[in-house]
Chains A and B, each alone.
Chain A
Amino acid sequence: MSPTATTSSAATGHVSAATAAAAARSADTGTQPVTFAKALNTALADSMAAEDSVLVFGEDVGVLGGVFRITDGLTKRFGTGRCFDTPLAESGIVGMAIGMAMNGMRPVIEMQFDAFAYPAFEQIASHVAKMHNRTKGRMPLPMVIRIPYAGGIGGVEHHCDSSESYYAHTPGLKVFTPATVTDAYLMLREAIDSPDPVIFMEPKKLYWTKEQVDLDALRISHETDAVPPTEGRAAIARSGTDATLIAYGPSVSTAMAAAEAAALEGRSLEVIDVRTIVPLDDATICESVRKTGRAVVIAEAPGFASVSSEIVARIQERCFHSLAAPVLRVTGFDTPYPAPKLEKYYLPSVDRILDAVDALQWEGGA
């Protein structure tokens, strides 16, 4: 099922015009407004151009260009052997990708929506995650499973799950989730280059956000190793001194807005964008928390037994003596993802984050 009509046509408008090969190259030159979707699309095209073994397949990714248009133009440019539609079966898509990776290819496959990846869970948990280990490193599986995830777009049920904890809990999987347009490009290219399987989680509410980006410069930076890798390196999205907000994917922009609002009230909040959930950058997170002494972890997923609980546990283990207050969390409630009209009550909001910050036992009371 496609997302709401409005969002779908918005995606088409932004992305479809910009991928015809040569035209795209010259059109990319210079800093200009670029959507998150376009950055991903460009990363796919650049990886396919750089390496013949990179293949893209999934449901509706061919002539349609994907329901979010992330694969727009790839079949036209690279042919049906490099970007193609499969029968409608997620376990089949992942299972076939495993075999292709075993036989010299680098598949980059699309699960149409977060909850639609569940039929593939056995292939992911029992094979993608373990093949390298089971064969003592003799059979690595370089492959990327792209999953549009999380909510905030008024999607119908089964289209808005934050499923990152399932993958992060499975040893052998790397889990990336970009929060900026620049990272969308760089992290996808890095995931495709990785010798390990990567679950690449794309916050679907960010697909239509824009940043001023020079895609040509980014391409050159990536291809000449001029930028440090993002894997295992959290980004300090905003510097601050009073408390640390730790977020990833769809929650980073909410955390940034909260920090902005807190600044007006005279509180300086540092915002950390985790970027790769696996491997997790403990060092950057802990360095920040030791400096500020206070932390709030923000995530859309239900908080119980989640990535957010893991981050809190690690802070507690490593930064206990630096903490001035318990580490708090602002997460989705432990309910199934709600119907669109209840979404605003469920999602972490700026106000809920600011309330959590207020509760961090400030001297003289909150």
Chain B
Amino acid sequence: MTNTEAREAIEQVSSKFGITPEDYMLPARTEIHMLDINGKLHPAGEQGAEPGHEYPLPSPRALVDAYEQLVIGRRVNDQNSALVRQGRMAVYPSSHGQEAAQVAAALCLGEDDWMFPTYRDTVAVMAKGVAPMEVMAGFRGEWHSGYDPKQYKVSIQSTPLTTQLLHAVGVAHAAKLRGEDTVVLAMCGDGATSEGDFHEALNFAAVFNLPVIFFVQNNQYAISVPLSQQSVAPSLAHKAVGYGMAGERVDGNDLVALLAVLGRAVRLAREGNGPLLVEAHTYRMQAHTNADDATRYRDDAEVQGWIAKDPVTRMRSYLQEAGLLPEATEARIAASAEAVAQALRDGMNSENNPAPADLFAHVFSTQTTQLAEQAALLADELAREEDAK
């Protein structure tokens, strides 16, 4: 039983673009930019565009909506980092500097599309619509995850690297078998592309011709180890061609380019053209987590260099220049970001301790005899503690 579907799909879509299947699968010669570091739109024809890699400018409305999420995302990162410093939660892996990639990952998806985020993708999870305090339950230590993946079509934030990419493949496969047009976006970082499950997930998605977007945020570091020690591929996007899928790399601090590239990737996937790999080139501005000391492995000069490429500043400059950001809009956006920050502070200041008996409540659908015995033991301990008070 020869599998021809995937190859035929690639042949069809590449001929639509008027290029060879190989040129369709290979990323453009340079990463896709739309804004320069000052927020000036590149003149047409200089957007990394070459045949098959032309990306139209998203609508003004889409850009302003995305900017709002960008500002909220930055506020969420900074607020959560402050809450960690204040001891309100133990850990928060911040995506400060990567907010454009976070926001675009959420906004490119439709309501029934799924997202598979990692621990650093809190901003993307919130931008997809998950209630902030439900997201924060994990970081607060209440439970491993606080939201319903089915309700939001957002899987649990994955800590084991790239394992979630295969789950994304499975969700897409199930949807395809039922004839649904769901697209699934699976997120990972640059270091994670070294994991075996990265390879297995891309290969499975390609072989079964599934609508999965593999979205790699290349933030240059896997904790302390730089990309040069993970891979010597020409780019991470070039890995796509080895699986028979299309790859593209995009400036990960350019929200306009991200929306354009991910938007087209989702469209192509939904039309049955198989999976795609998108690499966003960005930078982790802060340490891996609050427990990490980034000064041990990178120079301040390197970090400073990336401040000039800040995604929020670039997008604001562009929108202001384009007349899309009147003062009233800026004020409304600032207020909505502040409201989210306030909700996070309020939420963190309220006590919400899980019940000890919950330890045993969700191991199996019904409790085993052994777990019931252990639950009774703990209940007895607690009752005696209570009596002793």
* Closest residue on chain B to residue A96 by CB atoms: B170
B170 touching A103, Cβ below 8 Å = yes
Binary per-residue interface labels of chain A (265-283) against chain B in the complex, 1 for a CB within 8 Å, 0 otherwise? 0000000000000111011
A92 touching B197, Cβ below 8 Å = yes
Pick from A38-46, A80-88, A208-216 the stretch touching chain B. A80-88
A101 to B204, CA, bound (A): 16
From residue B325, how far is it (CB to closest CB) to chain A in Å?
Answer: 39
* Closest residue on chain A to residue B184 by CB atoms: A99
A137 in complex: contacting residue of B169, B200, B361, CB < 8 Å: B361
B166 touching A232, Cβ below 8 Å = no
A89 touching B204, Cβ below 8 Å = yes
Please tell me if A359 contacts chain B, counting CB pairs below 8 Å.
no
Please tell me if A133 contacts chain B, counting CB pairs below 8 Å.
yes
* Closest residue on chain B to residue A99 by CB atoms: B170
Please tell me if A139 contacts chain B, counting CB pairs below 8 Å.
yes
B1 touching A62, Cβ below 8 Å = yes
Pick from A24-32, A121-129, A179-187, A326-334 the stretch touching chain B. A121-129
Chain A CB within 10 A, most for which of B114, B165, B171, B178: B171
From residue B379, how far is it (CB to closest CB) to chain A in Å?
Answer: 19
B160 touching A99, Cβ below 8 Å = no
* Closest residue on chain A to residue B169 by CB atoms: A96
Pick from B145-153, B253-261, B337-345 the stretch touching chain A. B145-153
* Closest residue on chain A to residue B168 by CB atoms: A99
Please tell me if B242 contacts chain A, counting CB pairs below 8 Å.
no
From residue B22, how far is it (CB to closest CB) to chain A in Å?
Answer: 22
A100 to B204, CA, bound (A): 13
B156 in complex: contacting residue of A101, A131, A196, CB < 8 Å: A131
* Closest residue on chain A to residue B197 by CB atoms: A91
Note all chain B residues with C-beta closer than 8 A to A103. Answer: 114, 170-171, 174-175
Residue pairs across A and B with Cβ atoms less than 8 A apart, 25 shown, are: A55-B177, A86-B204, A87-B204, A91-B166, A92-B197, A95-B200, A97-B170, A99-B166, A105-B174, A105-B177, A107-B170, A122-B197, A123-B163, A126-B160, A127-B167, A132-B364, A134-B144, A134-B145, A135-B148, A136-B145, A139-B150, A174-B364, A195-B365, A282-B369, A283-B369
Residues in A lying within 8 Å of B, measured CB to CB: 55, 62-63, 80-81, 86-87, 89, 91-92, 94-105, 107, 119, 122-123, 126-127, 130-140, 171-172, 174, 194-196, 232, 278-280, 282-283
10 closest Cβ contacts across the A-B interface?
A: A99-B170, A95-B166, A92-B200, A103-B174, A279-B368, A99-B167, A134-B144, A96-B170, A195-B365, A100-B170
